[in-house]
Structure 1
């Protein structure tokens, strides 16, 4: 520290770290953390929150290992899960899988949150073989009936293109919620099976499962893929009744569906309505 400089307390260090991470300057955050250590400032648990996010933003496994080691030395119970989920959130699925391997090599047992993070990592990098291995670990851990874990298993298989395996997990679940149905329906859309996705949309409602905005986006994509204009109009009516029409992703999917089904006039009507709603929400006439 330069002569005459007033030393920062840990609260001020934490504020600076958080600001760097919030501004997307992960490298500067890590440099600041290293400076903090050089100057002998004792970190607290709030220091490590932005530092973990900075590691995830940089995607460097070595930094992650060093930070995790310091967490252990500091006596804070964390967070392999936070590290894994942070890397997944930042699009570093392969790094998350490496961390998953490392945590087990160091004798740490994964829990349901770990498995959810790793399944998301597998889905993000289309690593179906790794996903199958994780599935076996889930069974061995006795978590194969955990709805939260199973929803992510279904999603992983669907996003990796194995709808058949997604269905096997789906059918073994003690119960299915809208998230489960969305995962298999979107899997069929991704695999070019739009008609099957539309059938599932009808079936889920017959079974009393209420669609949400994600469901509507998926079914509109299915309508667009098979040019099912009448079905798309019926879905549009349901969207209006559910109050989801003003949601950006739903509105955009409606415009896309009408355009791909050849009804440019209806696409424009939805587009203009969305623009009007956005202007109204901003207080514009």
Structure 2
């Protein structure tokens, strides 16, 4: 086109920006936008919307918001699509109040919400804890003749389940079935998680059978939920019931766990077994793999199989399942990040990592000048300030007289440094901490 001497116009640039942004080539889309401006062509509402979406998806939310403001200042009126994009971006960034304000602005500007708007705002209200308001949005949506789809029902199941109201979660699941919709696996997982949390094991069993009847294949997350429940079982009966659920799921992870060998002299047989399984699970996303590994390590640790738990952790680190667990912040200054783990996994991870520091120090002669052990509040915290992870880590450090201190009043971060740290790492028991 250009070779023929035909200059691109605004439609040309808008089309190219749109197709590149949708295909994920965000840099190319932004370059086209700059070329369009350099050619003296002012963007229209469609172009602004595409670029705002492009910037937001690339993680540049402030730039996306700035462009939205520029769009309004230039007298270019945002349309429903633009507002939906901005509300979704704010929601994704967890700026829930900003998302709700944009929703009100959209309505004040005379735009009627569509199914996309309603779905996003329901999710935002759920995250804010306004579940009754989210249900009111659902009612408004149906009154306006928008037919709710499976994701909308699934959202309500998930919201009420996470809020601990199993009865409501179950009612919305039933409403979805009565509407002739087929739930997906994540929605079933949300309800399963709610049942397991309140130990309604027979309901969990029926739901799992229902999934299989519907032709739904339990996922890695399904099995992870069941294994975590088995770890936390309050009685041998509950543990047996959970084991039955794990077997019913038919997930390959169950056979992996059943066939896990007892650790040999150096644990290589366990590492080989774990490595083979994680290779088989390569297509799963990292978060799902991390969830399963966390549940497996926690289960083995609390079952007394600490050598096996340590081997599973070591392979997971090698396979980059926990990319942010151990990082060198600067020369000889290390960070051990445990806050996304269960308490049992945190203890194993910390023990094996400190053993790794000792081994490296003896081999290279290079000693860490400082180690920060970050526990946060722990993902299994029940209330602010109470963390099973922090408690377990603190007990371990006290038990082995680790020379730690807390800094700037941060009771969730334990710091070891200097000569006391190096002397401690020379102790032979550091190598076998996870067994003791």
Q: CA deviation at 1:175?
A: 2.7
Does residue 252 (structure 1) correspond to residue 290 (structure 2)? The answer is yes
Bigger relative contact order (CA 8 A; separation at least 6): 1
Q: CA deviation at 1:93?
A: 1.9
Instruction: Say which is worse superposed, 119-128 or 136-145, in terms of deviation.
Output: 136-145
Distance 1:157 1:86 in 2: 24
Distance 2:137 2:67 in 1: 22
For residues 1-285 of structure 1, the aligned pairs below 5 Å read: 42-43=42-43, 45-51=46-52, 53=55, 57-58=61-62, 66=69, 69=72, 73=76, 78-143=81-146, 145-173=148-176, 174-177=180-183, 178-189=185-196, 191-193=197-199, 195=201, 198-199=204-205, 200-226=207-233, 228=239, 230=243, 234=247, 238-240=251-253, 245-246=281-282, 247=284, 248-261=286-299, 262-263=302-303, 264-275=306-317, 277-278=319-320
Asked which structure has the greater CA Rg, the reply is 2
Distance 1:144 1:252 in 2: 37
Structure-2 change in CA distance of 1:100 and 1:225 (3 Å): farther
Instruction: Say which is worse superposed, 92-101 or 196-205, in terms of deviation.
Output: 196-205
Structure-2 change in CA distance of 1:278 and 1:165 (3 Å): same
Q: Is the 8 A contact 2:48 2:71 kept in 1?
A: no
Distance 1:138 1:188 in 2: 29
Q: Deviations over 1:73-128 (max 9, x none)?
A: 26877322111111111111222122222222333222221122112212322221
Could you list the runs of 5+ residues in structure 1 that have no partner in the other structure? Answer: 1-9, 24-28, 280-285
Please state whether the residue corresponding to 1:98 is helix, strand or coil: helix
Distance 1:65 1:153 in 2: 31
Total equivalences in the alignment: 251
Distance 2:146 2:182 in 1: 15
Q: Deviations over 1:48-84 (max 9, x none)?
A: 44445469834998x6873563687268773221111
Please state whether the residue corresponding to 1:161 is helix, strand or coil: coil
Distance 1:268 1:98 in 2: 49
Aligned to 1:4: none
Q: Deviations over 1:216-239 (max 9, x none)?
A: 343333333436474586489713
Instruction: Say which is worse superposed, 228-237 or 120-129, in terms of deviation.
Output: 228-237
Structure-2 change in CA distance of 1:204 and 1:236 (3 Å): closer
Q: CA deviation at 1:143?
A: 3.8
Q: CA deviation at 1:201?
A: 3.0
Q: CA RMSD in A?
A: 4.4
Structure-2 change in CA distance of 1:69 and 1:224 (3 Å): farther
Q: CA deviation at 1:253?
A: 2.8
Greater helix share, structure number? 1
Could you list the runs of 5+ residues in structure 2 that have no partner in the other structure? Answer: 1-9, 257-276, 322-436
Structure-2 change in CA distance of 1:198 and 1:205 (3 Å): same
Structure-2 change in CA distance of 1:236 and 1:139 (3 Å): closer
Distance 1:182 1:72 in 2: 47
Greater strand share, structure number? 2
Distance 1:267 1:237 in 2: 23
Structure-2 change in CA distance of 1:225 and 1:252 (3 Å): farther
